[in-house]
Amino acid sequence: MVRSRPLPSAHDFAFTAIDGQPLPLAGFAGKPVLVVNTASLCGFTPQYRGLQTLWQTYRGRGLVVLGVPSNDFGGQEPGDADQIKSFCELNYRIDFPMTEKVRLRGAQAHPFYRWAAGVVGIFGIPRWNFHKYLIAPDGRLADWFSSVTSPQSSSVRRAIEAGLPTPPVA
């Protein structure tokens, strides 16, 4: 009997945290993860506020918001890791996890983004900064949201809530 290899999940990929430490997505198994490609000089940069609000609202129930800086769209993330971290902390009080800057497009794209593109197809790939992928607790790619979709939108909140454990009964 030939055993086929299971299809990859988001938990098969790893990033490097903005502080240089390994950041395997397997460490978030059992939790929904909102993966967002970010940039400091973009018209969508104020979405950091909404992302921080989601993190503060849902992290106690397991949500992880993961910021993934990229300079792929319009050169809008020119800084190094220290500059990006400082910008996010000073301007938006970001304390959710962030990765080092990565490529999202082309042959040098981070493996997670190549995998996600294969799952969602051409319509679901990032076309600009602040594209959002929602990873289900089991590592499946549960949903995606374009840059223009606010982190505070009802569609994003509904999708997140669907992946969270049921709140305790009072």
Report domain extents, the chain: 32-163
Confidence grade of residue 96 (pLDDT, cut at 50, 70, 90): very high
Q: Please, how many CA atoms are within 13 Å of residue 135, restricted to the half-sphere of its CB?
A: 29
pLDDT at residue 8 in the model: 87
**Distance separating alpha carbons of residues 131 and 160, to the nearest angstrom:** 15
pLDDT for 105 beyond 60: yes
Strands of 64-69's sheet, edge to edge? 64-69, 33-38, 132-135, 141-145
Q: What mean pLDDT comes out for the span 94-103?
A: 97
Q: What is the pTM of this model?
A: 0.93
pLDDT at residue 82 in the model: 97
Structural Rg of the chain based on CA atoms:
16
pLDDT for 68 beyond 70: yes
pLDDT at residue 131 in the model: 98
**Distance separating alpha carbons of residues 83 and 11, to the nearest angstrom:** 28
Q: Which residues are catalytic?
A: 91
The values of phi and psi at residue 29, to 5°, are -55, 140
pLDDT at residue 156 in the model: 98
Beta bridge partners of 17: 99
Q: What's the topology of domain 32-163?
A: Glutaredoxin (3.40.30)
